[in-house]
Structure 1
Amino acid sequence: MSAAQPWGFTDDMGMELGAARVPERVVAYVRAGAALLDLGVTPVAVYGSGHDGPGYDPAKAGGLDAAGVPYLGPGRALDEELLRELRPDVIVDVTYDGKSPYALDEAVADRLGVPLAALSVGNELTLPEILDRFRELGASLGAAGGAGSAAADLAELAEAEDFLRGVAGRTGLAVLALSGAGPDQVHLARPQAWPELARLAALGVRLLDPGPGPGANWLTADWGRAAELRPDLVLFDNRFHAVPPYETPPGTRLAAWNPETPPSPAAYARFFRELAEALAA
């Protein structure tokens, strides 16, 4: 796609975006930016969420830091003048509710006169649908590599899924996904609330549900509740703001889980393979 061609894209908030030419200077939320980088679109800069600090979270950065993509800090505290100096053609965020971007106030983009595209990462879409939407956006932005690279990435993901399906079927281990909040509190993931966990269940991974209680995505409890579920393997949130597991039954295996894995086939292929290897260990 030539940058001289008109550009249009409808995001997952229903916003019909357009420009006289294909955007070349992309600023993105770190999760979206890491996915776009995997897909062949290198952002000029990325920003974080309210959970993020002044520097890159290694769990969320993907290949961005190694690629030299600048990190601007949390989106809600973004320096608008610095953002203006970057001359972005488009800002890319994610949305969990289909109504508002997650990490950046829409008013910032409005003041800059820059279109903002927000793609859904919530459970109203399946993981394959989320990956398709990011692929569509990347293709509209002239992703390097084209159809051949996309097909190779999808083939790699399919192989990783087959590998995980086979291991999960052989082992039958019980898996609990959680995010540590401190020595006295843990957030236990409800599998069907997370597209990637729902995908794991579809591939045969035996995910444990924390049971009734408040919270749509998490059940917040103490570590004793996590131990009572008797998982064979704990998928623990490895983002910077989370804490490692404090209490698990003896012999429980551990594997890292980033609830903000970049929505790209390559990133999820890595995650699925790492989980399969942990289950098989």
Structure 2
Amino acid sequence: MADAAGTWGFTDDRGAALAAERRPERVVAYVRAGAALLDLGVRPVAVYGSGHDGDALDPVKSGGLAAAGVPYLGPGRTLDEERIRALGGADLLVDVTYDGKSPYALDEALADRLGVPLTALSVGNDLPLPAIVGRFAELAGALGASGGSPARVADAEAALRAAAARADLTVLALSGAGPEQVHLARPHAWPELARLAELGVRFADPGQGPGASWLTTDWQHAVALAPDLVLFDSRANAVPPHTVPPGARLTPWNPETPPSPAAYVRFFQDLAAALG
């Protein structure tokens, strides 16, 4: 936020203390971060994708960005300073970080070449989901937003808790990788899945094996876990479920849901309906 002298500062989740002579107005952000900021009242001038993204904006990841007319610049690692300058420049780059050390989708050297600060907010399992959402709200506030439209997270969580208790279903979250492979999510490694577990959603344990966030295995293993409900990765880079466990219902899951109250209210409401 700005001090009496008019300078602006913000400390990101890498511990980097950012400073500017004035509050940034032209924000270029990673898609997930940009969608969250838009929900919170900050409209980015452009967004970029990750190495999983192509030349078109993934509609699953976009939130309200397309409807708001925010341009998409393609994968962040392919961006150069000329393309951003052609848009009118940027005052701030906003990325996410999974390890608390490095931006996820953008080459940090780009910020150096542009001469603008780069902030990275954590979306990894080092923070619980409410803290992650809170940090994005802090950044939006520092950028002058009032918080966007109110979202009743507590009500959505209460409804989800009640639905989970009534349904008593076993849930498996996964990301398809083709007919031979599937990635099974380890719930504790994903802040939103860990939050669902706290609200009473009962997850199947993928089992032991390599991988901190996913267990990569075959579809037969997923079927053997006998889930009642499958949360499947609905992003464009994921493959639709190749095999559906007998009797299981399917519902889409975006592992990159924008970290905003409004986005998680929608996610909790959709899951409560799926459980019911």
TM-score if structure 1 supplies the norm length? 0.95
SS class of match (1:53): coil
SS class of match (2:47): strand
Tell me by how many angstroms 1:109 deviates.
0.5
Q: Does 1:61 align with 2:57?
A: no
What is the aligned partner in structure 1 of residue 23 from structure 2?
Answer: 22
SS class of match (1:58): coil
What is the aligned partner in structure 2 of residue 197 from structure 1?
Answer: 193
What is the aligned partner in structure 2 of residue 106 from structure 1?
Answer: 108
Q: Distance in 1 between matches of 2:111 and 2:144?
A: 22
Q: 1:251 aligns with which of 228, 247, 252?
A: 247
Amino acid at match of 2:123: V
Q: Does 1:82 align with 2:64?
A: no
Amino acid at match of 2:108: E
What is the aligned partner in structure 2 of residue 241 from structure 1?
Answer: 237
Tell me by how many angstroms 1:2 deviates.
8.0
Which stretch has the larger CA shift, 80-89 or 30-39?
Answer: 80-89
What is the aligned partner in structure 2 of residue 166 from structure 1?
Answer: 162
Q: Distance in 2 between matches of 1:193 and 1:36?
A: 24
SS class of match (1:107): helix
Tell me by how many angstroms 1:166 deviates.
0.2
Query: How many residue pairs end up in the alignment?
Result: 274
What is the aligned partner in structure 1 of residue 274 from structure 2?
Answer: 278
Tell me by how many angstroms 1:78 deviates.
1.1
Amino acid at match of 2:196: L
Tell me by how many angstroms 1:246 deviates.
1.2
Q: 2:212 aligns with which of 212, 216, 221?
A: 216
Tell me by how many angstroms 1:85 deviates.
2.6
SS class of match (1:93): strand
Retained in 1: the 8 A contact 2:226–2:246? no
Q: Does 1:182 align with 2:184?
A: no
SS class of match (1:246): coil
Deviations 1:241-260 (A, max 9, x none): 10111112222111110000
SS class of match (1:260): coil
What is the aligned partner in structure 1 of residue 9 from structure 2?
Answer: 8
SS class of match (2:174): strand
Q: Distance in 1 between matches of 2:233 and 2:213?
A: 14
Amino acid at match of 1:241: N
Q: Distance in 1 between matches of 2:238 and 2:76?
A: 19
Amino acid at match of 1:47: Y
TM-score if structure 2 supplies the norm length? 0.97
SS class of match (2:268): helix
Amino acid at match of 2:81: E
Q: CA RMSD in A?
A: 1.4
Retained in 1: the 8 A contact 2:7–2:23? yes
Q: Distance in 1 between matches of 2:10 and 2:2?
A: 15
Deviations 1:123-168 (A, max 9, x none): 000000000100000000011xx26x56x32xx1111101100000
Runs of 4+ with >6 A deviation: 1-4
Tell me by how many angstroms 1:15 deviates.
0.5
Q: Distance in 1 between matches of 2:74 and 2:121?
A: 20
Structure 1: stretches of 5+ with no match in the other structure: none
Amino acid at match of 1:212: Q
SS class of match (1:59): coil
Amino acid at match of 2:244: T
Q: Distance in 1 between matches of 2:245 and 2:232?
A: 14
What is the aligned partner in structure 2 of residue 95 from structure 1?
Answer: 97
Structure 2: stretches of 5+ with no match in the other structure: none
Tell me by how many angstroms 1:208 deviates.
1.1
